[in-house]
Amino acid sequence: MDRNIRTVDDVLKLLDSLLAPEADRWTADGATWWDGFYTDRSKPVPFFVAKPDESLASYLDRSLFAPGRVLDLGCGPGRNALHLASLGFQVDAVDLSPTAIAWAEDRAREAGADIRFHCGDAFTLTASELGGPYDLIYDSGCFHHLPPHRRISYLTLLERALAPGGHLALTCFAAGEMGSELSDAAFYRTSHLHGGLAYTPESLRWIFSDLTEIELRRMHDEPPGSPYFGESFLWTALFRRDTKTVSGGPHPKP
């Protein structure tokens, strides 16, 4: 007879197990799926291009935040990390996949960019490993691959790593365009994330209700010749942390 639930972390790990084998897409033990995804660098995957997000370029053009310390969550081949480093930001970039990190490091060497890359789970890396607090946490496509219960881990990371006055910049699947629109509970009934979770503006505002919304819009489509990446099936959002705490406490649901 097992009685192994004592802490919140125990509950999170139990819920991870209910979504196996897809747990390898967000836990430190599961780089295998993403390694396979990133192995062929010539695949026609939109975000394999060496271009920053158009939304990131827009924030910078409008001086919505100044150069400082940045954490790039789920950095993949490093396209946004390289852009930020080129503009004077101090960048830590983390990804589960050793193959993705190796590709990003190759790009950084070619560009002469000074970026600290970390291979692992951002939720379990220590404060000394990450080097925060950060003035900007940048997430282009990580959040929508997390199961519902790992939003708790995400908010906990913001609480400990995002500096007061700092910003969270996020892109994620837009409901009606990309990603699954099943209810949170349904993912556990089916033991499957169905390729990622779709979000509405209301759901994003509720989840990040301890932050101040600066902008939330659809990402602009960018043509092949553009210097930026842009796909309209994504939301792009910018939030600011105005207080010293970011809690996952109860808030009215959208």
Q: Does position 195 have pLDDT exceeding 70, yes or no? A: yes
Q: Half-sphere exposure of residue 30, counting CA atoms within 13 Å on the CB side?
A: 12
Task: Name the residue ranges covered by the structural domains of the chain.
Answer: 17-134+145-175+196-240
Place 4 in a pLDDT band, splitting at 50, 70 and 90: confident
Span 194-208, mean pLDDT? 97
pTM, to two decimals: 0.93
- Phi (first) and psi of residue 73, to 5 degrees: -85, 130
DSSP state for residue 229 in the 8-state scheme? B
Q: Which residues contact 84 (CB under 8 A, 6 or more apart)?
A: 52, 56, 70, 72, 91, 136, 138
Residue 1: pLDDT band by 50, 70, 90 thresholds? confident
Contact 161, 132 (CB under 8 A): yes
User: What does the alpha-carbon distance between residue 193 and residue 180 come to, in Å, rounded to a whole number?
Assistant: 8
**How far is C-alpha 217 from the chain's CA centre?**
17
Q: What backbone phi and psi angles, to 5 degrees, belong to 215? A: -160, 140
SS3 125: coil
pLDDT on residue 250: 47
Residue 209 has pLDDT above 70, yes or no: yes
Given a cut of 50, whether residue 66 has pLDDT beyond it is yes
DSSP string, 169-205: EEEEEBTTTSSB---HHHHHHHT--TT-B-B-HHHHH
> Is the Cβ–Cβ distance between 153 and 8 less than 8 Å?
no
Q: CATH topology for 17-134+145-175+196-240?
A: Rossmann fold (3.40.50)
Q: How do residues 10-24 score in pLDDT, each as one tens digit?
A: 999 999 999 976 776
